Chain A
Amino acid sequence: MQDEPKHKNGAVNAIENLGGWFIQLFKSLGNFLNLFGQMMVATFRPPFRIKQLLISMEFVGWGSLFIIILTGFFTGAILAYQCNYAFGLFGAQTLTGSTVALALCRELSPVLGAIMVAGRASSGMATVLGTMRVTEQIDAMKTMAVDPVQYLIVPRVWATVLMMPVLCAVFDFVGIVASYFVGIFIGGVDFGSFDAMIDKLLNPFDVFGGLIKAAVFGLIVAFIGCYKGYYASGGAKGVGEATTDAVVFASVTILILDYFLTMIIW
């Protein structure tokens, strides 16, 4: 008889936990959408912080250029190598270039490029904003009548939106060049056929579609980084968690969003 209230409490606790988790989820979602709304509003409200935008563009674009070139080259090369082997089984190696180009332009460049930027830039944004949050710099900004969303988040997000398509184009190009080298010099594919198949299978919209995707990914990646940093709490540990969460959340979101974007665009 004595145990019954305890048992009751356990069940109540479990339900409470579930409810609490659900409320927390909705709170986070609310915060997320709220911040997104604030960011969109702040975008169109002066002052327009061009210098901040440029600094962020440099951080995202210039800073990620090398890693994008490296990833693009080896992605194209290895894809070409494997395609060459697989197509070689039925004598269709000439499809290597076009397959790699198509895969790169439509899927791999935007997705891998965005994941790379998430790993490099999104985590950086989360760390910077998180540190500012836990050291109360964001609050200080508010007291000085500077809108932190406008000053910190807007330039970072739009810089990533602008730079991601550029990085994606570079990824495409470098990857195709790598597939060319692997296909022609290692795979021994005839250049004419290699080239002709690219002509046949690809059209400019494949490139455009990929660039649109990259821009959307840029928006998501940067915003998640800023969101996680903006709402970080709990000192240095909290900043670390925010950074990790930003990368994981951004990467998973990219992969899920890619499915829907592909369905919409093509």
Chain B
Amino acid sequence: MQKFSAPFKVGLVIIVGLIVTIIMIIRFSASWGKGSELIELHAYFEDATGLAVRSQVQVAGIQVGEVASIKLENNRAHVVFNVRDDVPMYTGICDTENYCRNGATVAKKLSGILGDYHLELTPGLEGERLKSGDKIPNVIQAGGAEALLNDAGKIMKDVSQVTEMLSTVLGGEDGQQKIAKLLDDLNHTMEGINSITNDNAEKIASILSNVDTITKNASEISETGNHELTELAKELTKTLQQLRETVNHIDSGVGGTLDSAQGSLDQLRASIDRLDRTLSNVETIAQNVNNGEGTVGKLLKDDSIANEAQALLTETRELIRSGTETVDGANSLLKPVSDLNVDIALRGDYLVNANSFKVDFGVKLQPSYNKYYYLGLVMDPHGTSKKKTVLTESSTSGPVYETVTTNDDSVKFNLQYAATWRWFTGRFGVFENTGGLGGDVEMFSKNWKISFDVFAFNDNPFPRVRGTTLLYFSLFTPESWTWARTFYLSAGFDDPLNLNVFDYFFGIGFRFNDNDVKSVMSVMPSIK
């Protein structure tokens, strides 16, 4: 390495120092007054506590100037401040000495909770424009925390009055007696309520129990006996229909024969008999139900069925819960596997100097977005052909040497661990059967990738450095061309430090991942 001279080193340090100083000065310079003239304005405050030289002057919360000086003048604070000329401020129309309508105002405002203040200006609307040296027409004397404290003071006064009144009404011996009497009355009332509820506790319990039974039965009947009752109602409707027809018949045949009348009466009797039987059936069914006989009766009356049903439901619920737990367990177990992204890539590169092809096959296993494992096989002719001088024969004239080229075209392995941080990925592990390091930079939505690998530290005088750039077709094709996502172009240089084996290459590759496989599978006809 060339040794730098003393003047060069000194110059370099000075340049670095100057650059960082300039950066900091520019960075810390006030930006509020850039490119505009300043005017000096004056204001008189009763109290300038918290204001300091270089305190900010703001309009609508934006700094437009700063305080230049604060002096005591006639027991008032004379504050001089500079403001940007391009913020026009007006004198307003002065009705009285202390107030100018629609004129500029200035107030002292609290900047934060730590007691810093700034000046807040409102520029005003009317009158002449304020010039350098003018006085701000309206100065608002109290604002911010002071006003708040004043308000708080008033509120405290009110609270104090209220407590005083309470003290007058309830304080002293008289007040104490009143409170004692109030509490006494309340106690009596509570005792009365208590005794009533205690005396009638059984009755209340019985009433509540009855109400409970009634509502329960009604509910069960309406739910379970619905079908039976519907059937009964249908039969009743049918009987009544026949009765109506018979009566109609009698009406229409008043002038008919006695026989027909007799017939009609017979029909009526038969109908009434049927109705009677039906009603008697209804009564029997109701009695049976009440006695817990028959299916409906058992359903309604037999507790064991309800208990069994309850037990069955509990068991089912347990079963479902345990089933859910099992499924959840299985899910959590399978989650890392299901989150795993698998990328498979195959690339062929033409090595220009070596005049041969290199094939790179790799599987990227990505368990989370910020890391992945890369497994690969490479058939790389780079650097594998070595020229060797060997002794072929010995003759009388002396030994004969021959230069032979040997090729080592065995398959090499890649096994790397990679961690990603934003657009940068760092890799380390096995690079073509030797230890190495690598880094990738991805840009344009991961459509352009630049990689650098350094490995094979022992093979040649210098480690092998390889720079590769991958350009995905999807960078310059429409989004709808989904196939373009799969293909990419590659180019790069290989081992520039070892000039005898230096090479450059270009090629093409394709890649697909498990999602692509899934989408292909979903459109394939299912096997029957």
Residues of A within 8 A of B (CB): 54-55, 57-58, 61-62, 65, 105, 163, 165-167, 169-170, 172-173, 176, 198-199, 202-204, 206-208, 211
Q: Is the CB of B13 within 8 A of A166?
A: yes
Show 18 A/B contacts (Cβ-Cβ < 8 Å), sorted by A.
A58-B10, A61-B14, A65-B16, A105-B24, A163-B10, A166-B13, A166-B14, A167-B17, A169-B17, A169-B20, A170-B16, A170-B17, A170-B20, A173-B20, A176-B24, A203-B54, A204-B25, A204-B28
Q: Is the CB of A58 within 8 A of B20?
A: no
**Looking across the interface, which residue of chain B has its beta carbon closest to that of A200?**
B56
Q: B residues within 8 A CB of A62?
A: 9-10, 12-13
Q: Is B21 in contact with chain A by the CB < 8 A criterion?
A: yes
Give the CA-CA distance A211 to B30 in the complex, in Å.
19
Give the CA-CA distance A58 to B28 in the complex, in Å.
30
Give the CA-CA distance A199 to B30 in the complex, in Å.
7
> Looking at the complex, which one of B13, B20, B25, B30 makes contact with A61 (CB distance below 8 Å)?
B13
> Looking at the complex, which one of A55, A198, A199, A211 makes contact with B21 (CB distance below 8 Å)?
A211
Q: B residues within 8 A CB of A202?
A: 28
Q: Is B518 in contact with chain A by the CB < 8 A criterion?
A: no
Q: Is B27 in contact with chain A by the CB < 8 A criterion?
A: yes
Q: Is the CB of A61 within 8 A of B9?
A: yes
Give the CA-CA distance A65 to B17 in the complex, in Å.
10
Question: With A172-B20, A173-B23, A203-B28 as given contacts, are A54 and B6 in contact (CB-CB < 8 Å)?
Answer: yes
Minimum Cβ distance to chain B for residue A36 (Å): 25
Binding site secondary structure of chain B: helix
Minimum Cβ distance to chain A for residue B65 (Å): 14
Q: Is the CB of A203 within 8 A of B13?
A: no
Q: Is the CB of A54 within 8 A of B24?
A: no
Binding site secondary structure of chain A: helix
Q: Is the CB of B28 within 8 A of A57?
A: no
Q: Is B458 in contact with chain A by the CB < 8 A criterion?
A: no
Per-position 1/0 for B1-44, Cβ under 8 A of A: 00000110110111011101101110111110000000000000
Q: Is the CB of A169 within 8 A of B24?
A: yes
Minimum Cβ distance to chain B for residue A206 (Å): 7
Give the CA-CA distance A165 to B31 in the complex, in Å.
25
Q: A residues within 8 A CB of B27?
A: 198-199
Q: A residues within 8 A CB of B20?
A: 169-170, 172-173
Question: With A165-B17, A166-B16 as given contacts, are A203 and B6 in contact (CB-CB < 8 Å)?
Answer: no
**Looking across the interface, which residue of chain B has its beta carbon closest to that of A53?**
B10
Q: Is the CB of A204 within 8 A of B29?
A: yes
Q: Is the CB of A58 within 8 A of B6?
A: yes
Give the CA-CA distance A61 to B12 in the complex, in Å.
10
Minimum Cβ distance to chain B for residue A67 (Å): 13
Minimum Cβ distance to chain A for residue B112 (Å): 9
Minimum Cβ distance to chain B for residue A52 (Å): 10
Q: B residues within 8 A CB of A198?
A: 27-28
**Looking across the interface, which residue of chain A has its beta carbon closest to that of B111?**
A200
Q: How large is the interface on B (under 10, 10 to 19, 20 to 34, 35 or more residues)?
A: 20 to 34
Minimum Cβ distance to chain B for residue A105 (Å): 8
**Looking across the interface, which residue of chain B has its beta carbon closest to that of A173?**
B20
**Looking across the interface, which residue of chain A has its beta carbon closest to that of B14?**
A166
> Looking at the complex, which one of B24, B31, B54 makes contact with A173 (CB distance below 8 Å)?
B24
Question: With A61-B14, A62-B12, A199-B28 as given contacts, are A169 and B21 in contact (CB-CB < 8 Å)?
Answer: yes
Q: B residues within 8 A CB of A207?
A: 21, 24-25, 28
Give the CA-CA distance A167 to B13 in the complex, in Å.
8
Q: Which 6 A-B pairs have the closest CB atoms?
A: A166-B17, A173-B20, A62-B9, A61-B13, A58-B6, A202-B28
Give the CA-CA distance A118 to B246 in the complex, in Å.
131
Minimum Cβ distance to chain B for residue A124 (Å): 15
Minimum Cβ distance to chain A for residue B119 (Å): 15
**Looking across the interface, which residue of chain A has its beta carbon closest to that of B24?**
A207
Q: A residues within 8 A CB of B29?
A: 203-204
Give the CA-CA distance A55 to B12 in the complex, in Å.
14
Q: B residues within 8 A CB of A208?
A: 25
Give the CA-CA distance A16 to B6 in the complex, in Å.
52
Give the CA-CA distance A207 to B21 in the complex, in Å.
8
**Looking across the interface, which residue of chain B has its beta carbon closest to that of A162?**
B14
Q: Is the CB of A199 within 8 A of B31?
A: yes
Give the CA-CA distance A96 to B54 in the complex, in Å.
22
> Which residue, B6, B16, B28, B54, has most C-beta atoms of chain A within 10 A?
B28
Minimum Cβ distance to chain B for residue A148 (Å): 21
Minimum Cβ distance to chain B for residue A212 (Å): 12
> Looking at the complex, which one of A61, A105, A169, A176 makes contact with B10 (CB distance below 8 Å)?
A61
> Which residue, B14, B16, B20, B31, has most C-beta atoms of chain A within 10 A?
B20
Give the CA-CA distance A172 to B505 in the complex, in Å.
47
Minimum Cβ distance to chain B for residue A71 (Å): 15
Q: A residues within 8 A CB of B6?
A: 54-55, 57-58
Give the CA-CA distance A211 to B27 in the complex, in Å.
16
Q: Is the CB of A65 within 8 A of B30?
A: no
Give the CA-CA distance A167 to B16 in the complex, in Å.
9
Q: A166-B18, A199-B27 are in contact. List 7 more A-B contacts (CB 8 A).
A: A58-B9, A62-B13, A163-B10, A169-B20, A169-B21, A173-B24, A202-B28
Give the CA-CA distance A98 to B468 in the complex, in Å.
43
Q: A residues within 8 A CB of B31?
A: 199
**Looking across the interface, which residue of chain A has its beta carbon closest to that of B6?**
A58
Give the CA-CA distance A199 to B10 in the complex, in Å.
32
Give the CA-CA distance A202 to B54 in the complex, in Å.
11
Give the CA-CA distance A199 to B56 in the complex, in Å.
12
**Looking across the interface, which residue of chain A has its beta carbon closest to that of B66?**
A203
Question: With A54-B7, A61-B9 as given contacts, are A203 and B30 in contact (CB-CB < 8 Å)?
Answer: yes
Give the CA-CA distance A109 to B427 in the complex, in Å.
38
Give the CA-CA distance A173 to B18 in the complex, in Å.
11
Q: B residues within 8 A CB of A199?
A: 27-28, 31
Q: B residues within 8 A CB of A170?
A: 16-17, 20
